[in-house]
Amino acid sequence: MCIGPGFLRSPRTIGNENPMATTSDLRKGMLIRYNGAIHRVVEYQHIAPGNWCAMVRMKLKNFDSGKTIEDRVRAGSEIDVITTQTRDAQYLYDDGTSYHFMHNENFDQIALPKEDFEDTMSWMKENDMIVLLTEDGGKVLSVEIPNFVTLKVVDAPVMLRGDTSGKVMKKVTIETGAEIQVPDFVKEGDIIRIDTRSGEYVERA
């Protein structure tokens, strides 16, 4: 008989109802429902500490908040794996409260709340292609966009003292309406490359 600390969960489901897998099926990047919320598996490690019960140490990132947690569960515990699929879509327009998209395959249109996806969509122009990540049932979990985009600067203040070293930064507005910090030498009309993961200027295109 194995023994273990009291906080370890028993080998039952650690997700939601109808578990689809166990801890032996864990993989980095997998989405699971844990404590009622969707998390991405960042790291996991199987541990067999002497005569204690074998366990699995998990590092999980909340899909919505981005908060990272760590927890341990007994080996063999059931996990609720989120089955996902991707669908190519075209960004149509922003009506002020929602972003509207059209699926490429069947041309169905879908509207998503602006407040939930504004951080991502601030780098996208109308007619740009994106990927919708959905779970079973069709609920959209995220909008996936390219890691890098090139956009036009539509408003850039002129600094009084020119500095072409790139060390002096200023805030400019790009064609999507988003604002970004760029080197002082960037001017209105320039096309710049942006890392959408960090929202940072990369270079002039």
Q: Each residue of 182-199: pLDDT tens digit?
A: 999 999 999 999 999 899
Q: pTM for the full model?
A: 0.69
In the sheet with 169-174, reading across from the earlier edge strand, the strands are 179-183, 169-174, 148-155, 191-195, 200-204
Taking the C-alpha atoms of residue 78 and residue 14, their distance in angstroms, rounded to an integer, is 6
CATH code 2.40.50.140 region(s) in the chain: 84-144, 148-204
Taking the C-alpha atoms of residue 58 and residue 38, their distance in angstroms, rounded to an integer, is 14
Fold of domain 148-204: OB fold (Dihydrolipoamide Acetyltransferase, E2P) (2.40.50)
Taking the C-alpha atoms of residue 127 and residue 89, their distance in angstroms, rounded to an integer, is 9
Provide the CB-side half-sphere exposure for 119 (13 A, CA).
8
**Nearest by Cα to 72 from 59, 83, 91, 85:** 59
Pair 17, 32: CB distance under 8 Å: no
Which tens digits make up the pLDDT trace of 144-157?
999 999 999 999 99
Range 64-85 average pLDDT: 87
Fold of domain 21-81: SH3 type barrels. (2.30.30)
Taking the C-alpha atoms of residue 182 and residue 157, their distance in angstroms, rounded to an integer, is 11
Backbone φ and ψ for 96, nearest 5 degrees, come out as 105, -30
Which tens digits make up the pLDDT trace of 76-102?
888 888 888 889 999 999 999 999 999
One-letter identity of residue 95:
D
Q: Does the domain at residues 84-144 carry the CATH identifier 2.40.50.140?
A: yes
